[in-house]
Amino acid sequence: MEQKQNTAEIARNYRSRLKRFIWKRVSSAEDAEDILQDVFYQLAEADRLMKPIEHISAWLYTVAGNRITDLYRKKRPEPLSEYFSENEDMVAEFVGLIYETENTPENEYLKSLFWEELEIALKELPREQRMIFELNELEGISFKELAGLTGETVNTLISRKRYAVLHLRKRLQTLYNELINF
């Protein structure tokens, strides 16, 4: 290690600067703290294995950058319910309806009504938005896989799904309002 500093001393010297570096690049304090701890864990491992590190500062920031990249690679897109956060009652009702196992005539009717309305709303979308929504949300295909299939960037696909979800939110809100006022 550079000038034979011990791991605890290096952590003390770099902690606040490294933490600011990470916080600027991640969306939550918990993720930032996890990455910071992982960087120092990697430092301790390198020390334990007696791996020489020429430039400690560059090494720490490189490891932090790699962990940030790993975090974003691992993160899955938000499930559909996250887009409906303004009206959690609606989401709970629809999710409960979709996965209801009791096959009463009322439940069957409500399920069919929901799926009919969803299909109508999906047909109103531009082809690209509908395709991305269906493949990602209904078929479970990741944005990364979709990017490989379509040749579009992941950000473009996420944007298309977002517009689809905004439209579906409006349309399903109308159905929800009709059902609760029935």
Domain 80-180 class in CATH: mainly alpha
* Confidence at residue 181, expressed as pLDDT on a 0 to 100 scale: 61
* Confidence at residue 99, expressed as pLDDT on a 0 to 100 scale: 54
* Confidence at residue 47, expressed as pLDDT on a 0 to 100 scale: 77
Q: Is 18 within 8 Å of 42 (Cβ atoms)?
A: no
Domain boundaries, the chain: 2-74, 80-180
- Going by C-alpha positions, the residue among 68, 74, 70 that lies closest to residue 27 is 68
* Confidence at residue 42, expressed as pLDDT on a 0 to 100 scale: 87
- pTM for this predicted structure: 0.47
* Confidence at residue 1, expressed as pLDDT on a 0 to 100 scale: 41
Domain 2-74 class in CATH: mainly alpha
* Confidence at residue 5, expressed as pLDDT on a 0 to 100 scale: 58
Distance CA 157, CA 150 (A): 9
- Going by C-alpha positions, the residue among 105, 109, 118, 112 that lies closest to residue 173 is 118
Q: What are the residue ranges of helices labelled H in 24-153?
A: 29-48, 56-74, 80-83, 88-98, 105-123, 127-133, 143-150
Distance CA 36, CA 132 (A): 35
Q: How many CA atoms lie within 13 A of 161 on its CB side?
A: 27
* Confidence at residue 89, expressed as pLDDT on a 0 to 100 scale: 56
Do the two domains 2-74 and 80-180 of this chain adopt the same fold?
Answer: no
* Confidence at residue 53, expressed as pLDDT on a 0 to 100 scale: 81
Per residue of the chain (182 residues), give pLDDT as tens.
Answer: 443 457 788 888 888 888 888 888 887 788 888 888 888 888 888 877 787 787 888 888 888 888 888 777 765 444 544 544 455 555 556 655 555 556 678 767 777 787 888 888 889 999 999 999 888 887 778 888 888 888 989 899 999 999 998 888 888 887 777 766 65
Orientation of helix 56-74 relative to helix 29-48, angle to 10°: 130
- Going by C-alpha positions, the residue among 86, 85, 153, 166 that lies closest to residue 124 is 166
